[in-house]
């Protein structure tokens, strides 16, 4: 019997000022767009902003629904917009921020499991890793160089076609 150990490494910054100018702008966009999130049920407003290989900036917010499972996270809203507006254009970096109207917003949160799966598929289809910047409205910023690091042992296209 063997054991396998899987580790992830994050860069931890104390605040937005420690980031490069480009990263600061992207995170500011994510923070700012939380204001148009539609989250009347959770009051947890999430904003995402991504820069693509072609230089375009795409944004997304969570969109909830009275039928709760119908709601969509900011990250997947952004991925769908990106794929529709710019098919096959990879994402360089995505900043994700949240404004918790029920509490504080000063610790980074990371994408939910469903969004990790969606990010993994997007990375695979565009053949490029997505860099993630995670933060609240203030305070620490986590940077993950490849979003797929957040989904070890992921299930993907390779598994469905493993007989080919």
- What residues act catalytically? 75
Size of the site for ligand THU (CB under 6 A): 13
Closest C-alpha among 138, 139, 137, 98 to residue 115: 98
Min dist. Cβ of residue 142 to ligand THU (A): 13
> Taking the CB of residue 75, how many other CB atoms lie within 10 A of it?
26
At a CB cut-off of 8 Å and minimum separation 6, what does 91 contact? 50, 51, 52, 53, 82, 122, 126, 128, 130
Residues 84-113 binding ligand THU (CB under 6 A) are: 111-112
Min dist. Cβ of residue 17 to ligand THU (A): 24
Distance of CA 106 to the CA centre of its chain: 17
3-state secondary structure of 81: helix
Site string for ligand THU, 33-72 (x = CB under 6 A): ------x--x-x-x---------------x-x------x-
Min dist. Cβ of residue 25 to ligand THU (A): 21
- Contact residues toward ligand THU (CB under 6 A) are 39, 42, 44, 46, 62, 64, 71, 73-75, 111-112, 115
């Amino acid at each position: 019997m063997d054991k396998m150990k899987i580790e992830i490494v994050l860069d931890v910054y104390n605040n937005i000022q420690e980031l490069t100018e480009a990263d600061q702008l992207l995170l500011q966009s994510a923070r700012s767009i939380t204001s148009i999130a539609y989250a009347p049920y959770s009051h947890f407003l999430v904003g995402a902003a991504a820069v693509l290989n072609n230089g375009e900036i795409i944004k997304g917010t969570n969109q909830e629904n009275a039928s709760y499972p119908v709601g969509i996270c900011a990250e997947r809203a952004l991925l769908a917009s990106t794929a529709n507006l710019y098919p096959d254009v990879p994402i360089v970096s995505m900043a994700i921020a949240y404004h918790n109207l029920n509490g504080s917003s000063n610790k980074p949160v990371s994408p939910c499991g469903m969004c990790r799966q969606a990010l993994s598929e997007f990375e695979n289809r565009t053949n490029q890793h997505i860099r993630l910047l995670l933060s609240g409205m203030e305070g620490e910023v986590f940077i993950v160089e490849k979003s797929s690091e957040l989904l070890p042992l992921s299930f993907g296209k390779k598994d469905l076609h493993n007989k080919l």
